[in-house]
């Protein structure tokens, strides 16, 4: 890699570490010519699938569009930028894991709603009202009733720990 200080063509790696939960590699480099040190980050560049709109037209995935939708839903709500970033990363992880070249916008919207349901119920209903095209107050009421019947994120986590405990108790001992 070229040195950002003296533009020499050769630098050497003096340290490498995983960063960002293992999704990036952080490298400390040193220039062979001027001894300048700098840090680089290496991240896999994966092709995101196209999003198939309701009209049937494909559209390239756009993180900024997803971010605007989540930020609009969370406007003036007690949701931090870090929480929104985590929600976006989670949706993008699901997109990449789908391994499909095209993903219906409906599925993408459902993933966003799953994330918002755990972040903030008002943000969830705001997003759902646009995503599901609510026509009247009854549609809001029905969505809120469904939301109230669903287990909270904390309840789902505690259920998972119970399931894991039962599974480990059922395993034969060595």
Q: What is the mean pLDDT of each run of 10 residues along the chain (174 residues)?
A: 95 93 91 96 87 94 95 95 95 90 94 92 88 75 80 67 63 61
Contact 114, 94 (CB under 8 A): no
Contact 102, 52 (CB under 8 A): yes
Strands (E), the chain: 11-19, 24-31, 37-43, 50-52, 58-60, 102-104
Output the pLDDT for position 174.
Answer: 55
Contact 99, 88 (CB under 8 A): no
Output the pLDDT for position 153.
Answer: 66
pTM: 0.60
Output the pLDDT for position 105.
Answer: 94
Nearest in space to 61 (alpha carbons), one of 49, 69, 52: 49
Residue 75 CA to residue 83 CA, distance in Å, equals: 13
Residue 108 CA to residue 120 CA, distance in Å, equals: 18
Contact 21, 43 (CB under 8 A): no
25 burial via Cβ count (<10 Å: 0-12, 13-18, 19+): middle
């Amino acid at each position: 890699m070229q040195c950002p200080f003296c533009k020499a063509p050769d630098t050497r790696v003096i340290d490498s570490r995983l960063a960002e939960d293992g999704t990036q590699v952080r490298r400390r480099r040193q220039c062979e010519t001027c001894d300048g040190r700098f840090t680089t980050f290496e991240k896999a560049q994966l092709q995101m699938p196209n999003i198939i709109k309701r009209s049937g037209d494909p559209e390239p995935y756009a993180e900024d569009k997803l971010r605007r939708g989540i930020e609009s839903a969370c406007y003036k709500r007690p949701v931090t930028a870090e929480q929104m970033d985590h929600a976006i990363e989670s949706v993008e992880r699901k997109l990449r894991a789908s391994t499909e070249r095209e993903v219906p916008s409906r599925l993408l919207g459902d993933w966003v709603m799953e994330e918002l349901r755990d972040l903030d119920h008002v943000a969830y209903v705001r997003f759902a009202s646009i995503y599901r095209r609510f026509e009247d107050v009854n549609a809001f009421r029905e969505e809120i009733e469904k939301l109230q019947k669903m287990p909270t994120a904390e309840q789902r986590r505690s259920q998972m720990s119970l399931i894991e405990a039962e599974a480990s108790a059922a395993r034969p001992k060595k």
